[in-house]
Amino acid sequence: MVISVNPLWARRLGYPGDGWRELDKGCSKMRNRLQWLACLLAAVMVITACGTADDGGTDDTASDTTAAAADPTTTVAEAPEEDTTTTAEESEEEATTTSTASETEESPTTTAGAEAEGPVGVDGLPEDLQRLYLEVGETQTAPSAYTDFESVEGPWEVCYSESFVGNPWRVSLGDEMERLAAEYEEAGLVSGFTTSVSESDIARQNQQIRQFSEQDCDIIFAVPGSTTGLDEAIQAAYDKGIPVVTITGSESPHAQVVDSNYFVMGAELATYINENTDGGVIQVKGIEGAPVAVAQNEGAASIWDGSDVNLVAEVNGDWTASVTKQAVLNALATNPAEVAAVWSTGSETAVIAQAFDESGRDAPLISGSISGDALGYWNENPDGFNFYGVALMPSWTAQTAWNVGMRIMDGQKPHLQTIMVPIPTVTQDDMAEMYEECMTPEATSIFPVVPNNPLPPELMDGYFVGNGVVGPFDYANTPNPCEAEE
């Protein structure tokens, strides 16, 4: 599989010599292209006059940088401009000072994080984060609408807009959001938590978000039912000074998106199937039109289009166990040829294996997201469950979005519109470590907890100007799924 580098990086890497890249980095903070060209021209004139860029006689103003939100040619949201200039020496000195909210005595909501020069693009992120932006579009790499958002005094009223709660994964996602809200309310940072559910009705979700904007919500979290269908409602909240943090899927320039690279996820699952099986493949898609499902399907198509894969059936499982199982049973009934693999991305892998067993077919390689019932099925059928996939857990999905929102309320400045979260990979060799006794083939509402936070605080810091955990969050306190069932 060949994955091209994001064009934003290529433009930087194309400059000849480190000096020119540094000049461009500084000048790219100018507010428009005319100022950018003037900055580069001024730098060239200074270098020419002094003979070398390192000469002590260089005018100090040539190295000044402005903490502006973005070049107007790429700006996607209006925000009050704050013309704060710092010298390179001052920026370097500030960058050496960091502290977390828990280290600040004055207020639990205050974080005296390291002040960077200002918002940066993908190429300004730490390398571990840059690789998460392979094969993404301009929306994901655009500057955040909240680069100038000021801290809001707590406690905060938190509102949560869900588009769908028809499967255990989404229920668990909402449960974890509610748990976090209660934890922060006990700490004095949150005053209340309100939830709405639109049941996949986009017009209804628009109305619910608008109602949140009219109420006393200080911040809105949302799982959008459409990539663009909520744009007006999100903008209405933004215009009232209410941040909107979406869990995946929004292309609104006024949303702060917390997402993962589902295109690459879908492509990697398809690649593994191509490289490790030889036979027919059934593709089980998620909810039709859902942003995550669309990206995953496109990722798989990028691998399969033009290849010799034998795609014997494409069905929609809606990320729901009963729908998925029936869809697979129907596909097997109409395709008597060997099926070597099932490409899926949801947590319904156990019922896929059951469908093959009930049809008297050999167990295929199944991709998807690991779950408690899948681990239970594997434990009872170690030779009948062959898995490769990811740990796309509702717990860490909720936690990363929550922490991004808390940082914004604290006044920390996100660099990009979309904050990408790494997705842990799970192989057959990981099953024994993840299995727990409460996990049975019927445990569809139990989801394992991955050992390590996919986006720990020190890595999330790279996405912000200012850093540190806000409030009492500790990944080690993620509830044990078995204890939660007791």
- Type of residue found at 103: E
Nearest-angstrom CA–CA distance, 356 and 332:
8
pLDDT in tens, 202-219: 999 999 999 999 998 999
Find residue 89's DSSP bridge partners. none
Q: Which of 69, 62, 112, 58 is nearest to 87 (CA)?
A: 62
Q: Does residue 297 sit within a domain?
A: yes
Q: What is the DSSP string of 328-375?
A: HHHHHHH--S-EEEEEE-SS-HHHHHHHHHHTTPPP-EEEEE--HHHH
Find residue 218's DSSP bridge partners. none
Nearest-angstrom CA–CA distance, 345 and 325:
14
Q: Which of 409, 346, 416 is nearest to 164 (CA)?
A: 346
Query: What CATH number has the domain bearing residue 329?
Result: 3.40.50.2300
Q: Does residue 8 sit within a domain?
A: no
The pLDDT of residue 486: 55
Torsion angle in degrees (nearest 10) through CA of 451, 457, 462, 464: 140
Q: What secondary structure letter does DSSP report for 14?
A: T
Find residue 284's DSSP bridge partners. 315, 344
Q: Does residue 285 sit within a domain?
A: yes
Strands 256-259, 418-420: parallel, antiparallel or unpaired by DSSP? parallel
Q: Where do runs of H (alpha helix) occur along 28-151?
A: 33-50, 88-95, 127-130, 138-141
Nearest-angstrom CA–CA distance, 333 and 311:
15
pLDDT in tens, 249-304: 799 999 999 999 999 999 999 999 999 999 999 999 999 888 889 999 999 999 99
Nearest-angstrom CA–CA distance, 165 and 200:
9
- Type of residue found at 356: F
Nearest-angstrom CA–CA distance, 382 and 416:
44
Q: What secondary structure letter does DSSP report for 156?
A: E
Q: Does residue 45 sit within a domain?
A: no
Nearest-angstrom CA–CA distance, 106 and 238:
29
Enter the tokens of residue 246.
Answer: 């979406």
Asked if residues 222 and 259 have their Cβ atoms less than 8 Å apart, the reply is no
pLDDT in tens, 60-87: 333 333 233 223 222 233 333 344 334 4
Number of domains in the chain: 1
Q: How confident is the model at residue 484 (pLDDT cuts 50, 70, 90)?
A: low
Peptide bond preceding 155 in cis form (omega within 30 of 0) = yes
SS3 193: strand
Which residues form the domain of 378? 262-390
Residues written for the chain: 486
pLDDT in tens, 366-418: 999 999 999 999 999 999 999 999 999 999 999 999 999 999 999 999 999 99
The pLDDT of residue 69: 29
Q: Does residue 317 sit within a domain?
A: yes
Q: Which of 252, 283, 259, 288 is nearest to 269 (CA)?
A: 283
Percent of the chain whose pLDDT exceeds 70 = 75
Q: What is the mean pLDDT of residues 107-133?
A: 70
Q: What secondary structure letter does DSSP report for 253?
A: T
Q: Does residue 373 sit within a domain?
A: yes
Looking at the chain, the number of H-run helices and the number of E-run strands are 18, 16
pLDDT in tens, 136-147: 888 899 999 999
Q: Does residue 327 sit within a domain?
A: yes
Q: How confident is the model at residue 19 (pLDDT cuts 50, 70, 90)?
A: very low
The CA-atom distances, in angstroms, between 297 and each of 224, 328, 396, 404 are: 18, 17, 23, 27
Q: Does residue 117 sit within a domain?
A: no
Enter the tokens of residue 153.
Answer: 């005094």
Q: What is the mean pLDDT of residues 342-359?
A: 96
